[in-house]
Chains A and B, each alone.
Chain A
Amino acid sequence: MTRYILQRLLLLPLLMVIYSFVIFVIIQAPPGDFLTAYVATLASSGSSISAEQIAALRHSYGLDQPFIVQYLLWVQHLFHGDFGLSLEYQRPNAELIGEQLGLTVALALFSFVLTWALAVPAGIYSATHPRSLGDHILTVINYVGVATPNFMLALILMWVAFAYFDISVTGLFSPDYVNAPWSVGRVLDLLGHIWLPALVLGIAGTARLSRIMRANLLDELNKPYVVTARAKGMKEWALVLRYPVRLAFNPLVSTIGWYLPMLFSGSLIVATVMNLPNIGPLLLRALINQDMYLAGGILLIYSFLTIVGTLLSDVALALIDPRIRVER
């Protein structure tokens, strides 16, 4: 088991090297560089900069070096926790990302918990009451949930809240708490706001997970051991929860591998539409304004979160399913 986890952990730096290179290629692809955009910003604000100064700056940032040297310089800085300076905000990128990273992860994890809390009971109900009215209603909700793009659901909710109840459902905090330091009150305020975006983010996943749960459980419920237990007079709900549900869980755990990464990258859209403090909207702005080192930093963080998500699911699966441990 330890060996298995270690093997997976060793893969992480290798993947990060590959990703960092690909990301660097992508952020370097648009014409011009950091400094051409910087000079343009200066010009638009009225100040100017001489050609020698630009050349000096270009040299100090290593922008006159060949591509591969630039990449190595970037990675070297990353190792010292230096993500570069944001052109637009004129602040260190590490600071900008750090401010929003916690809430980004919190949103994804909260959405994850919410998904499981909704999908598992819904799946169990559907499987134990197949073809009932409740099952049909859940099926319809599932189909529509999968078919609705996240941003569309967010738009509809915001529009209904604004037009009919005259409330705003954007942001993660009430106005009083937006810039307040962390306190019990702020955490409670966050909990009062985070569930709606988390639900929007998790709705498609909830639908898919409850379908999987239903299908797995239906397969299990027809097996002879269930009939035996029922014949022995075991209470129906205790019987269902104790054996078949536990077995039906395994395929569900293996979905974590794609689901957590999906939540991280999907939160970008929900956060942009609902105006949440999140690295997603930050990335979007950085990409549009060609703030390339900020974009690169955020893309790296996303890759890291994705790999960690996959890793967690592998470990979780190995923990609950001994067959996987033996295989390796």
Chain B
Amino acid sequence: MADITAGKEAEDRVAVASNWKLVWWRFRRHHLAMASGVLLIFMYLIVLAPDFFSTQNPERTDARQAFIPVQMVHFFDDGSLSPWVPAIVGKRNPTTLRMEWTTDANKKVPVRFFARGYTWSFFGLFHSDLHLIGPVDPNQRIFLLGSDRLGRDQWSRIMHGTQTSMTVGLVSVALSVILGVVLGGISGYVGGKTDQVIQRLIELLQSVPTIPIWLALSAALPRDWTPTQVFFAITVILSLVGWTTLGREVRGRFLALREEDFVLAARLAGCSRMRIILRHMVPTFTSHIIATSSLAIPVAIINETSLSFLGLGIRPPAISWGVLLQEAQNIQTLALAPWLLIPGLIVIVAVLAFNLVGDGLRDAADPYSH
């Protein structure tokens, strides 16, 4: 008897739940997607304040500390919680005359959480010298993920690269969504000649050889542009092709919805065209737009990384995952310092997480897919 009433209550809950609640309930059942979502939230925290997560200024160079290997964090010392990293020992190779570094676990460099380090500013709002993790002695340098050929700390550079790359993905997809919804919406709602023109434009853009054209476009950017200008130009370039898929999808939805009774009712009630589109039609497929765009972000990230890796995307001194991977271009260097591939692993993890969340959202947004 109790079971029946509980089942009845659950049914009632479902019956009155809003669409968003239903989507959330279905999404929650995908454990992998949920875990990926948490990971992405964490990564966007890094985007907000990469300096807090860094241990050193990402631009700080020291040629005498080039190619230092990964100093793994150990949390326990003699059974008590006191984190440390192994010290590095340098020895000059007698034949190549190159400094070769190894970690020595017998010599411990104590580190602590919420350590004091270099001063950073949070979007110019306030300044702080607090860092998530750092050496107890602020004059000591630690390299949690090793250093590159200029002795820059890879951990801190990855944190700043995360800010750039994750933002490029988000902003370019946001632009794509705006273009896709507006143009796709007009195409589907107005129809006729306008529809024809927009559809031909989409077909044209979709049969563009993407990577060569992107490269040519970014090569055409003026050399004297600031990193910020280049950043926005690259974002726009990436979104130019990205909107077409969404545009098609939105148009299809509009075509189907145009004939629905509630749209007719809104029109008879005297709603303006813009109000009908934005207030009555768009909300019915917002969850789809979100799912589609969350699958578009990883594509944008991979494209940005590839362009920057080839030297025609984000340019140094700006840091992105692709810029970091330029350091790994030389195989001889890689054999010497394999940790330079770590930014690539971060790319894979981020893209994987976006794809899993996107798949989870797509399944959750579509009640008919089982």
Q: A and B from one assembly?
A: yes
Q: List residues of A whose CB falls within 8 A of some B CB.
A: 15, 18-19, 23, 26-27, 29-31, 143-144, 146-152, 155-156, 158-159, 162-163, 258, 261-262, 264-266, 268-269, 272-273, 280, 283-284, 287-288, 295, 298-299, 302-303, 305-307, 310
> Please, which residues of chain A bring their CB within 8 A of the CB of B351?
146-148
Interchain CB contact under 8 A, A147 and B355: yes
- The contact sample of 21 A-B pairs, CB cut-off 8 A, is A23-B216, A26-B217, A144-B352, A146-B355, A149-B347, A151-B310, A152-B347, A155-B334, A155-B344, A156-B341, A156-B344, A158-B334, A265-B211, A269-B211, A269-B310, A284-B312, A287-B312, A295-B219, A299-B209, A303-B208, A310-B207
> Please, which residues of chain A bring their CB within 8 A of the CB of B344?
149, 152, 155-156
Asked if B306 is at the interface of the complex by the 8 Å CB criterion, the answer is yes
Interchain CB contact under 8 A, A162 and B331: yes
The docked-state distance in angstroms from the alpha carbon of A258 to that of B220 is 26
B window 289-326: CB within 8 A of A: 298, 302, 305-306, 309-312, 325
The docked-state distance in angstroms from the alpha carbon of A307 to that of B367 is 37
Interchain CB contact under 8 A, A143 and B209: no
A283 contacts which of B215, B306, B347, B352 (Cβ < 8 Å)?
B215
> Please, which residues of chain B bring their CB within 8 A of the CB of A158?
331, 334
> Please, which residues of chain A bring their CB within 8 A of the CB of B219?
30, 287-288, 295
Interchain CB contact under 8 A, A30 and B352: no
Number of interface residues of B (CB under 8 A): 40
> Please, which residues of chain A bring their CB within 8 A of the CB of B278?
none
Asked if B335 is at the interface of the complex by the 8 Å CB criterion, the answer is yes
Q: List residues of B whose CB falls within 8 A of some A CB.
A: 204, 206-213, 215-217, 219-220, 222, 298, 302, 305-306, 309-312, 325, 328-329, 331-332, 334-335, 338, 341, 344, 347-349, 351-352, 355-356
> Please, which residues of chain B bring their CB within 8 A of the CB of A30?
219-220, 222
Interface of A is mostly: helix
CB-CB nearest in chain B for A148: B348
> Please, which residues of chain A bring their CB within 8 A of the CB of B216?
23, 26-27, 283, 287, 295, 299
A268 contacts which of B212, B217, B334, B349 (Cβ < 8 Å)?
B212
CB-CB nearest in chain A for B332: A162
A306 contacts which of B208, B309, B310, B335 (Cβ < 8 Å)?
B208
> Please, which residues of chain B bring their CB within 8 A of the CB of A149?
302, 305-306, 309, 344, 347-348
> Please, which residues of chain B bring their CB within 8 A of the CB of A303?
208-209
Given A158-B331, A159-B335, A305-B209 in contact, is the A269-B306 Cβ separation under 8 Å? yes
CB-CB nearest in chain B for A279: B212
B341 contacts which of A29, A143, A159, A264 (Cβ < 8 Å)?
A159
Given A152-B344, A155-B344, A272-B310 in contact, is the A147-B217 Cβ separation under 8 Å? no
Known: A26-B213, A152-B325, A163-B338. 6 other contacts (CB 8 A): A30-B219, A149-B344, A149-B347, A151-B306, A156-B344, A307-B207
B309 contacts which of A19, A151, A159 (Cβ < 8 Å)?
A151
> Please, which residues of chain B bring their CB within 8 A of the CB of A284?
215, 310-312
Given A143-B355, A152-B325 in contact, is the A287-B306 Cβ separation under 8 Å? no
Can you list the 3 inter-chain pairs with the closest CB atoms, starting with the nearest?
Answer: A29-B220, A302-B209, A287-B219
> Please, which residues of chain B bring their CB within 8 A of the CB of A29?
220
The docked-state distance in angstroms from the alpha carbon of A302 to that of B210 is 9
Interchain CB contact under 8 A, A147 and B306: no
> Please, which residues of chain B bring their CB within 8 A of the CB of A258?
206
CB-CB nearest in chain B for A30: B220
> Please, which residues of chain B bring their CB within 8 A of the CB of A272?
310
Interchain CB contact under 8 A, B204 and A150: no
A163 contacts which of B210, B306, B334 (Cβ < 8 Å)?
B334
CB-CB nearest in chain A for B305: A149
Nearest CB of A to B63, in Å? 24
The docked-state distance in angstroms from the alpha carbon of A152 to that of B349 is 13
A147 contacts which of B210, B220, B298 (Cβ < 8 Å)?
B298
The docked-state distance in angstroms from the alpha carbon of A158 to that of B213 is 27
The docked-state distance in angstroms from the alpha carbon of A147 to that of B311 is 21
Given A29-B220, A155-B334, A159-B335 in contact, is the A15-B352 Cβ separation under 8 Å? no
The docked-state distance in angstroms from the alpha carbon of A146 to that of B359 is 13
